[in-house]
Amino acid sequence: GENVEQHPSTLSVQEGDSAVIKCTYSDSASNYFPWYKQELGKRPQLIIDIRSNVGEKKDQRIAVTLNKTAKHFSLHITETQPEDSAVYFCAASGADFGNEKLTFGTGTRLTIIP
């Protein structure tokens, strides 16, 4: 089955600086890569996703890049703000029957230092 590794497990950045979280996946058939944000005591919520036919996607201060050859994808947050403090999870899903389930990384706790 799919295996998703996420690094780093914790990340602290000064407010206004950029944050980058990286994930690698094992199944070359995976073709959907979402990122979820989970604030303390809250539900995970989708913040951005990318499909394998696209190399990069941006939404305001958030961007995701995908390198299918190397099987890794990254979340970039620019101009960080205190409300960006949360745990971020990457995930991967395939399209073929039997590997279509969503596999999550172990999470990155991002702390924005005012």
Partner 1 sequence: NAGVTQTPKFQVLKTGQSMTLQCAQDMNHEYMSWYRQDPGMGLRLIHYSVGAGITDQGEVPNGYNVSRSTTEDFPLRLLSAAPSQTSVYFCASSWTGFDQPQHFGDGTRLSIL
Which amino acid belongs to residue 96? Answer: D
Lookup: tokens for 88: 């971020």
Position among 8, 12, 46, 59 found at the interface with partner 1 (CB under 8 A): 46
Which residue is it, tokens 């039997």? 98
Determine the size of the site formed for partner 1 (CB under 8 A): 26
9 counts as binding partner 1 under rule CB under 8 A: yes
Lookup: tokens for 53: 């036919």
Stretch of residues binding partner 1 (CB under 8 A), selected from 13-21, 60-68, 76-84, 91-99:
91-99
Other CB atoms within a 10 A radius of the CB of residue 52 amount to: 17
Stretch of residues binding partner 1 (CB under 8 A), selected from 11-19, 36-44, 59-67, 72-80:
36-44
Lookup: tokens for 48: 């951005």
Chain-centre distance for alpha carbon 80: 16
Interface positions with partner 1 (CB under 8 A): 1, 6, 9, 31-32, 34, 36, 42-46, 49, 51, 89, 91, 93, 95, 100-107
